Amino acid sequence: MIERRGVLISGLGVTALASCATGAPATRRADPLKTQFQRPQLDETVKHGVVYRNEREFCGWPFYCGFWKTADGSLLASFKRIPTEYNAYNDVDHNNLTRHRGKLWTIRSTDNGQSWDPNSFQEVFDMNYREGSDLPGGHAADWSDLPPLDFFSRDTLLMGGGLPRLFAPGAEAWLRASADGGRTWRRTMFLPKYSLPSLTAFGSSMYATREDGVHLLGLNTTSPEAMSPRPLVYSSMDGADWRFLSFVTPEKPPSAFYKGGSPFAPAPHFYPRVTILQGGHMLASLRYQRDPRNVIWTEIYESKDGGRTWSFLSRVNDWGAPGDLVPMRDGRVVCVYGYRIEPQGIRYRVSEDKGRTWGKEMILRDDGGSWDLGYPRVIETEPGKLMTIYYMNLKSDPVQVNGGVRHIAWTTFRP
């Protein structure tokens, strides 16, 4: 009998871990409306720490980089590092930061996240490329000459993005993969567009492999004619051959009054993160945005047919996105997100019915120095215990440039 990412595989078939878990949700649940709208509560089980901080760097956005627990039990965190002088607002303005682009790095912990080894730093992708030959490993590859990736293995990691930048017109989606827990990475490959006008990837969830071994990857496309960016899903059995599978949202919003150009057209849906629950039920978290500094929230779409079709399921919160999902071994689903309204920080909610409804808002921390934080990743490091990493700035920081030094922090908690 072997364990494959949340299920036990035996000669008798697949047995959900929740069947033998302790602390499973009670059969009789409180009224979801009464629970959902209780006053936010501070989680008293939290412990905080720092993954990495540099006084002359802007470190951020692990959501679209990665966070994994590998086969040997170590944790690998990935995030972007951009050289930054904290002298004026322009130094931390995101429009200026995108011009510098920065590099994506990984760092490893061998003690379940309590400390992070600076000697383990590894550069995975340099966004300051000039032409194809500047890609990590040289010109783009197709991996057809390499062994198939085993998506059931905890040592199989995917990292992706968009060139020349995320969501750019005509963007190309790049992908790198590791088959040894992030110690080495395959040469960069570009995903086929299948006539899409642009394509952006965001890395992959470690909970997104179907029982037949097919892995699902959330992406975005953007076109000048579209009313909003459109999230979609690619799939692959071996990591080398990626194919378009489905769109997550409708191409255009339904309207009885406007045929296009409505001032009330929805803001972008983007950052799709696919998560597969016990039994094959699929969820995709999406960020819905009106203003990136505060008017953003997390929506959940579901698929009951292996990712072929999707429909709206729920809205997790009033404010806070992107939200990362973790299916816990006891059957619950937790969504963690940055909270960019005062008091800024990191929060989460729990669903006991596969994402249909969400419990009261729980506060992991509320000591942020500005809206410029969040983009979490979350995993279950041991039964009942979660760890999330995110980028953070502190109101107590002696350096204050629209908040403190942007760094990568971690929090453990037991929901």
CB atoms within 10 A of CB 121: 13
Task: Quick: pLDDT tens for 175-193.
Answer: 999 999 999 999 999 999 9
In 229-361 the beta strands, taken as DSSP E runs, fall at 230-236, 243-247, 269-276, 282-289, 296-303, 311-315, 323-327, 333-339, 345-351
Q: Which CA distances in Å does 295 have to 41, 93, 267, 341? A: 21, 18, 10, 9
Residue 192: exposed, middle, or buried by beta-carbon count in 10 A (0-12, 13-18, 19+)?
A: middle
Task: Quick: pLDDT tens for 342-387.
Answer: 999 999 999 999 999 999 999 999 999 999 999 999 999 999 999 9
Least confident of 91-100, 202-211, 316-325, 398-407: 91-100
Strand 41-42 relative to strand 362-365, pairing: parallel
Between 53 and 4, name the one with better pLDDT.
53
Residue 223 pLDDT: 67
Residue 131 pLDDT: 52
Task: Quick: pLDDT tens for 126-170.
Answer: 887 655 555 665 567 889 999 999 999 999 999 999 988 888 888
As a whole number of angstroms, the distance between CA 359 and CA 379 comes to: 19
Residue 17 pLDDT: 29
Mean per-residue pLDDT, 207-223? 94
Q: Which of 247, 338, 251, 326 is nearest to 298 (CA)?
A: 338
Q: Which of 80, 17, 83 is nearest to 51 (CA)?
A: 80
Q: Which long-range contacts (CB under 8 A, 24 or more apart) does 126-130 make?
A: 127/80, 127/101, 127/102, 127/103, 127/161, 127/163, 127/165, 128/100, 128/101, 128/102, 128/103, 129/163, 129/164
One-letter amino acid of 105: W
Residue 225 pLDDT: 58
**What percent of the chain is modeled with pLDDT above 70?**
84
| DSSP category for residue 188 | P
As a whole number of angstroms, the distance between CA 383 and CA 291 comes to: 37
As a whole number of angstroms, the distance between CA 100 and CA 94 comes to: 10
Residue 3 pLDDT: 43
Say if CB 373 and CB 390 are below 8 A apart. Answer: yes
CB atoms within 10 A of CB 26: 8
Q: Which CA distances in Å does 242 have to 113, 216, 234, 309? A: 33, 9, 6, 18
Please determine, for residue 217, whether its predicted confidence score (pLDDT) is greater than 80. Answer: yes
Between 152 and 250, name the one with better pLDDT.
152
* Cα within 13 Å of Cα(268), Cβ side: 17
Task: Quick: pLDDT tens for 118-135.
Answer: 999 999 998 876 555 556
Mean pLDDT of the chain: 87
Residue 261 pLDDT: 46
Residue 346: exposed, middle, or buried by beta-carbon count in 10 A (0-12, 13-18, 19+)?
A: buried
Task: Quick: pLDDT tens for 290-319.
Answer: 888 888 999 999 999 999 999 999 999 999
As a whole number of angstroms, the distance between CA 388 and CA 345 comes to: 13
Backbone Cα Rg of the chain: 20
Q: Dihedral sign for Cα 399, 400, 406, 407, please.
A: positive
Q: Which CA distances in Å does 98 have to 81, 164, 404? A: 12, 10, 19
Between 226 and 97, name the one with better pLDDT.
97
Tokens read off for 239? 């990591």
One-letter amino acid of 25: P
Please determine, for residue 260, whether its predicted confidence score (pLDDT) is greater than 70. Answer: no
